[in-house]
Structure 1
Amino acid sequence: MEPALDKEKFFRPSYIASVELPQRTGPVNVEDIKADLSDEFSLVSSSSDISQRSSLESKGHIQVCLRIRPFTSLEKENESQDCVSLEDSTSIILKPPKNSLSRLSEKTAGQLIQKFTFSRVFGPETTQEEFFEGTMKQPVQDFLEGYNRLVFTYGVTNAGKTYTFQGTEDDVGILPRTMDMLFKSIQGKLYTAMDLKPHRCRDYIKLTKDQVREETSIKNAILRLTKEVRGVIMLNLQSYF
């Protein structure tokens, strides 16, 4: 039989207040302090006006957009470009490749034809600007008005996710266009002084002139170190190749 433990010896102090807390003598009733915070944490609180609520409800919770990339030369050689066809602005039709139809009966081939519906479908001829206007512009505007928005891309390898999100130097994607729209929207509203520093999660501290100079020196030292490291890496790569 194990000996009884000394409760006072093994009592742990609070790591929050750094003091020992009294032991509980019984269950604590918290019914009187419970509060329903669903309205405060919902997209539209109970105090919002009716027009704002109806506007959000009409948009729906999730929008799924499909962008079809152009076919590669290899895909065209294999005559697989007829697999995907646009029925309208929200639907596509998927069919088996032509080279597989010879091995399938007419009934089986008909059963493999499928129709998929999305919030909106963008064809291979869609430009980066048109895609941004049709998918991202409104969510960014909603974000500027105080609503949370989440956007992500999904697709198989080589589907064109990186091109859609980042684009190229000459034809940028939705991410650079989003950042451009955000910063243009807050022009003239930026705090130009450099004397504020984030503190913890939701707070900040105002720096003195000496602290500003110290922070500037630290930043410049980090930037110089980054350039030096990059230079060493480039030299090593050149000597390797």
Structure 2
Amino acid sequence: MEPTLDNGKFFRPSYIASIEPSPRAGPVSVEDIKTDLSSEFSLVSSGSDTSQSNGHIQVCLRIRPFTSLERENGSQDCVSLEDSTNIVLKPPQHYLSRLSEKTSGPMLQKFTFSQVFGPETTQEEFFEGTMKQPVQDFLDGYNRLVFTYGVTNAGKTYTFQGTEEDVGILPRTMDMLFKSIQGKLYTAMDLKPYRCRDYIKLTENQVREETAIKNSLLRLIKEVEEHFSILFSMCIFR
């Protein structure tokens, strides 16, 4: 039977709010639980922060090598490095030929960055010059945020991931992080995550069961990969 209110209108129970909302509470005094944290934050901001950023955002520019097509049409002349922090840009010659003197505007534009890395920069040199210090700061207990930004085909994926032969900043960062905790890892395999913030310790029998499940899953993944590899080969040679 549908529940009713006193005025005869039907209502459905709500799982979000109570049926009879409680009267709105007045202002709550929190003076007894307020704490002045300014001294603690001042220690963090003006203390022994040894990072190269010193609290400021660092913006680094990496110039990728020009493609053969870009070299053919003279695009390599549009970027020139003044020094380690400044570059000068000008339109390519094939673009200038289409512009009149009135529409061309200023031909040269200068931009300043925290650090500029030229096309000859290696993956290792770029990591040493941009990521190594922030990673060390993170290991020392400071928050750091690093991201890559650029247009399509600017080289973000290569800089971030790299190749198997010459890895990028992400694999080098992970390598540095894991090397920093060598000798501090728990090598036993008897702990299992439980929900979000806890873990359980497994018995010997449970460890054997978990190992069997893991091995079975890995075999299944390998079989699926081999199956799809065979199907892919058959589709190619048809």
TM range (shorter): 0.7 to 0.9
In structure 2, the gaps of 5 or more residues are none
Separation in 1, partners of 2:32, 2:51: 29
Amino acid of the structure 2 residue aligned with 1:177: R
Equivalent in the alignment of 1:31: 29
Equivalent in the alignment of 2:13: 10
Secondary structure at the counterpart of residue 88 of structure 1: coil
Secondary structure at the counterpart of residue 81 of structure 1: helix
Equivalent in the alignment of 1:45: 41
With 64-73 and 142-151 compared, the bigger mean Cα shift is at 142-151
Q: Number of residues paired by the alignment?
A: 231
Secondary structure at the counterpart of residue 77 of structure 2: coil
Equivalent in the alignment of 2:74: 79
Separation in 1, partners of 2:212, 2:154: 45
Separation in 1, partners of 2:81, 2:88: 6
Change (3 A) 1:12 1:109: closer
Give the % identical residues.
Answer: 66
With 127-136 and 154-163 compared, the bigger mean Cα shift is at 154-163
Which of these residues, 163, 167, 176, is aligned with residue 172 of structure 1? 167
1:120 Cα shift? 1.0
With 174-183 and 212-221 compared, the bigger mean Cα shift is at 212-221
Secondary structure at the counterpart of residue 70 of structure 1: coil
> Are positions 1:210 and 2:205 aligned together?
yes
Separation in 2, partners of 1:231, 1:238: 11
Deviations 1:45-95 (Å, cap 9, x if unpaired)? 355495325x46952342211100111111111011111111221121110
Q: What RMSD in Å do the two structures reach over aligned CA positions? A: 3.2
Equivalent in the alignment of 1:124: 119
Amino acid of the structure 2 residue aligned with 1:30: V
Which of these residues, 93, 98, 120, is aligned with residue 98 of structure 1? 93
1:187 Cα shift? 0.6
Is the Cα contact below 8 Å between 2:127 and 2:172 reproduced in 1?
yes
Change (3 A) 1:87 1:57: closer
Equivalent in the alignment of 1:17: none
In structure 1, the gaps of 5 or more residues are 15-19
